[in-house]
Amino acid sequence: MAFIRSVLHLLWMSVTVIPYSLAMLVVRLFGGSQDTVYRIARAWLALSVHSACPLMGISYRVTGMENLPTDPKQGVVLLCKHQSTYETFLMPAIMPRQLAYVFKKELLKIPFFGWAIGSLDMVHIDRSQGSRAFAKVLQQGRKLLSQGTWVIMFPEGTRIPRGEVGQYKSGGARLAVSAGVPVVPIAVTSARVWPKTPFTKRPGIVDVSVGPQISSEGMNQDDLMQAAQDWIEAEMRRLDPDAYRPGK
Across all residues in the chain, what is the average pLDDT? 92
Cα–Cα–Cα angle for 161, 168, 116, nearest 5°? 75
Q: For residue range 100-129, list pLDDT tens digits in order.
A: 998 878 888 888 888 888 888 888 777 666
Closest Cα to residue 136, out of 87, 102, 95?
Answer: 102
Residue at 33 is within a domain: no
**Which tens digit of pLDDT belongs to each residue from 22-71?**
999 999 888 889 999 999 999 999 999 999 999 999 999 999 999 999 99
Q: Does 195 map to a domain?
A: yes
CATH number at residue 124: 3.40.1130.10
Which of 143, 117, 52, 128 is CA-nearest to residue 90? Answer: 52
pTM for the whole structure: 0.93
Asked if residue 97 has pLDDT above 90, the reply is yes
Look at residue 74 and tell me if it is in a domain: yes
Residue 248: its pLDDT value, please? Answer: 53
Number of domains making up the chain: 1
Domain that holds residue 93: 58-244
Per-residue pLDDT reduced to its tens digit, 80-90: 999 999 999 99
Q: Residue 218 falls within a domain, yes or no?
A: yes
In a domain, 76, yes or no: yes
**Is 68 inside any structural domain?**
yes
> Quick check: 241 and 163 in contact, CB under 8 A?
no
Q: Is residue 7 part of a domain?
A: no
Distance between CA 192 and CA 11 in Å, rounded? 22
Residue 9 within any structural domain of the chain: no
